[in-house]
């Protein structure tokens, strides 16, 4: 059983970002299914979380609804993350979510990156914005991402389909190689480091 | 009674009153802080604590100077800190500042140590914030020795060595000030407090109860692990934040602009959401009593409860009115109600007198550094 969490930063209804996310999920689920791996998918929409995300940024802690979403991400074995392109980058909302996601949540997590935009001129947001951010978060970013421009959803559909298939195949190999995701417990790590420090501190009587 | 202590703490912020747009001057804020401390004693509270900051918009950059002045103008209230920076202050200076304060206040002194989370303060005082934890451990180790050993030879990483150093004046009656370790959310400080058998003060305010519960439980468990007593015998303090009027709706209406514009949490969640998720209680004295009595369900029976009442630009007159309500209507009920069902094994809050008695009662114990 592989737990897949799909994060969509789409704002509109209907959303091409969400549409791309759904197609990626379907392709990954099919590929894993072909290897007899069952998939449980959880979709996370960022729009309904916009205010809780900003509150978390301002207060430093997440309200229960957002905390539950963090748990859905942390408990996954693999993540698909899709953003609309805003100003040659991921959207502020997308970035803010990852800014408040607890440290090390995505450590060693296989991540498939994807983005949507008006034209294909900004397809490198994947390489210049998303990949560096997820690398910084210690995720294992799958080599092939998918960028879909508005045109791609029209007559060029087969080309987008091929790109989705390639990305899903690469991602599936990565996810299978990684196996179930081991969650890090930063609280326990900090505590353990402190215990060692106190044990080794010179002149401490106990 | 329980031997529980109730008091207030200030962070010394110089914040505009959002209803007038005017910020107090630094002089006004300092004078107001003294007035607040005196009022706290007048209404029967046990503790006044000040934070420490080294940049605007704050004024408490010399906490023991302030506390010394307040000691001279008061007779009973205990003077403490929230927190004293163990990282960026020289431990020798901390040791000296507080033994002098002990003498001046007749033992009405204890100290809460903290790491400090204002980044630039570290380089201003020649330290590196990335070393905050090892710095805390090393500095506190030296501080303990200075208060307990007459001649100290010491060498470390973050401070120049000491050779044949004697702290003067010695702690009053040979009893160092009781030490609380203050933490907001990370476990290292809970571990440090437990290791030494010192008190643990959970900031508590501005955070969900679950964070505090986890830290205090860790501290209690580790306190027992290190052989200082049972988990129930650990020494716990909590922060709290309140704004009161006789009528609950009046309190909410009056406090809302202060809440909405507050430096720490303003412009974020609503007052209603924030009061649901954190210890902040805005309402009637009865509501404050009920909420405060509920804290022990997740931290256990504890020793010290401090309230933040002067934050976010509240005018002095309003803060003094909060103290009137605390002193007349809230704390007397809390003293009585916290005693109900409190197990006999749970100790009272440590004071100079109780530590002196313990020292006198068993001199052999007093020479091993567990207090």
* DSSP one-letter code for A121: G
What pLDDT digit, counting tens, does each position of B295-333 carry?
999 999 999 999 999 999 999 999 999 999 999 999 999
The predicted structure's pLDDT at residue B185: 87
The predicted structure's pLDDT at residue B1: 59
The predicted structure's pLDDT at residue B370: 42
CA angle B12–B93–A199, rounded 5-degree value: 100
Region class of A178: left (phi > 0), else alpha (psi between -120 and 50), else beta: alpha
| Residue for token pair 């897949």 | A4
Q: Which residues contact B22 (CB under 8 A, 6 or more apart)?
A: B16
Structure-token pair, residue B45: 């509270």
Rounded to whole angstroms, how far apart are CA atoms A26 and B24?
Answer: 61
CA angle B242–B260–B283, rounded 5-degree value: 30
Rounded to whole angstroms, how far apart are CA atoms B353 and B317?
Answer: 34
Around A138, how many Cα atoms within 13 Å sit in the side-chain half-sphere?
A: 9
Q: Which of residues 125-154 of B touch A (CB under 8 A)?
A: 133-134, 137-138, 141, 145, 154
Taking a C-beta distance cutoff of 8 angstroms, is the pair A195, B191 a contact? yes
What is the arithmetic mean of pLDDT over A118-145?
Answer: 97
Q: Which of B193, B217, B194 is nearest to B297 (CA)?
A: B217
Contact A204 B206 (CB under 8 A): no
What pLDDT digit, counting tens, does each position of B232-244 carry?
999 999 999 999 9
What pLDDT digit, counting tens, does each position of A33-53 carry?
999 999 999 999 999 999 999
Enter the pTM of the model. 0.94
pLDDT band of residue B367 (cuts 50, 70, 90) is very low
CA angle B119–B113–B120, rounded 5-degree value: 10
Least CA distance to A187: which residue of chain B?
A: B187
Instruction: Assess whether pLDDT exceeds 70 at residue B138.
Output: yes
Q: How far is A8 from chain B (nearest CA, A)?
A: 23
What pLDDT digit, counting tens, does each position of B196-241 carry?
999 999 999 999 999 999 999 999 999 999 999 999 999 999 999 9
CB-based burial label for B66 (10 Å; 0-12, 13-18, 19+): buried
Structure-token pair, residue B338: 């916290």
Average pLDDT, chain A: 95
The reply to whether B159 touches chain A by the CB within 8 Å rule is no
CA distances from B282 to A77, A150, B317 (A): 43, 51, 18
Taking a C-beta distance cutoff of 8 angstroms, is the pair A21, A113 a contact? no
**Candidate from A58, A64, A202 with C-beta closest to B268:** A58
Q: What proportion of chain A, given as a percentage, has pLDDT over 90? A: 93
The predicted structure's pLDDT at residue B368: 41
The predicted structure's pLDDT at residue B369: 44
What ipTM was estimated for this complex?
0.91
The reply to whether B218 touches chain A by the CB within 8 Å rule is yes
Rounded to whole angstroms, how far apart are CA atoms B9 and A76?
Answer: 43
What is the arithmetic mean of pLDDT over A167-184?
Answer: 98
């Amino acid at each position: 059983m592989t737990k897949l969490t799909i994060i969509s930063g789409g704002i509109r209804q209907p959303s091409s970002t969400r549409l791309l996310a759904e197609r990626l999920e379907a392709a990954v689920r099919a590929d894993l299914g072909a290897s007899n791996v069952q998939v449980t998918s959880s979709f996370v929409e960022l729009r309904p979380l916009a205010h809780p995300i900003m509150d978390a940024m301002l207060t430093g802690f997440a309200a229960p609804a957002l905390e539950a979403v963090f748990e859905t991400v942390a408990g996954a074995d693999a993540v698909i993350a899709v953003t609309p392109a805003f100003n040659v980058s991921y959207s502020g909302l997308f970035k803010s979510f990852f800014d408040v996601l607890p440290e090390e949540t995505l450590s060693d997590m296989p991540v498939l990156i994807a983005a949507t935009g008006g034209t294909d001129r900004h397809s490198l947001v994947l390489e210049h914005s998303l990949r560096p951010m997820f690398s910084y978060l210690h995720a294992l970013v799958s080599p092939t991402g998918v960028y879909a421009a508005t045109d791609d959803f029209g007559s060029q559909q087969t080309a987008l389909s091929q790109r989705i298939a390639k990305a899903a195949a690469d991602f599936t190999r990565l996810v299978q190689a990684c196996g179930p995701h081991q969650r890090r417990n930063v609280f326990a790590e900090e505590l353990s480091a402190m215990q060692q420090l106190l044990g080794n501190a010179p002149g401490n009587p106990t | 009674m329980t031997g529980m202590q109730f008091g207030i703490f200030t962070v010394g912020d110089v914040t505009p009153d959002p209803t007038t747009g005017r910020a107090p001057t630094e002089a006004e804020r300092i004078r107001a802080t003294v007035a607040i401390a005196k009022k706290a004693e007048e209404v029967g509270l046990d503790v006044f604590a000040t934070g420490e900051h080294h940049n605007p918009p704050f004024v408490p950059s010399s906490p023991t100077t302030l506390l010394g002045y307040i000691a001279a103008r008061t007779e009973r209230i205990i003077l403490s800190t929230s927190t004293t920076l163990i990282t960026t202050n020289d431990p020798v200076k901390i040791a000296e500042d507080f033994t002098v304060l002990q003498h001046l206040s007749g033992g009405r002194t204890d100290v809460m140590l903290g790491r400090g989370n204002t980044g630039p303060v570290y380089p201003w005082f020649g330290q590196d914030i990335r070393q905050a934890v090892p710095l805390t451990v090393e500095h506190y180790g030296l501080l303990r020795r200075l208060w307990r050993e007459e001649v100290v030879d010491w060498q470390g990483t973050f401070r120049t060595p000491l050779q044949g150093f004697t702290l003067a004046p010695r702690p009053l009656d040979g009893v160092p000030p009781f030490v609380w370790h203050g933490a907001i959310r990370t476990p290292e400080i809970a571990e440090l407090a437990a290791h030494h058998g010192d008190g643990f003060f959970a900031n508590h305010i501005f955070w969900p109860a679950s964070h505090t519960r986890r830290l205090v439980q860790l501290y209690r468990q580790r306190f027992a692990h290190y052989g200082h007593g049972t988990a129930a015998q650990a020494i716990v303090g909590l922060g709290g934040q309140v704004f009161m009027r006789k009528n609950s709706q009046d309190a909410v209406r009056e406090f809302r602009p202060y809440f909405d514009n507050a430096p720490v949490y303003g412009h974020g969640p609503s007052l209603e959401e924030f009061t649901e998720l954190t210890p902040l209680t805005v309402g009637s004295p009865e509501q404050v009593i009920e909420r405060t009595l509920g804290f022990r369900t997740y931290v256990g029976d504890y020793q010290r409860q401090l309230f933040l009442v002067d934050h976010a630009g509240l005018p002095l007159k309003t803060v003094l009115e909060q103290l009137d309500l605390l002193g007349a209507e809230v704390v007397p009920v809390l003293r009585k109600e916290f005693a109900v069902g409190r197990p006999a094994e749970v100790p009272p809050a440590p004071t100079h007198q109780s530590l002196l008695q313990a020292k006198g009662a068993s001199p052999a114990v007093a020479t091993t550094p567990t207090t």
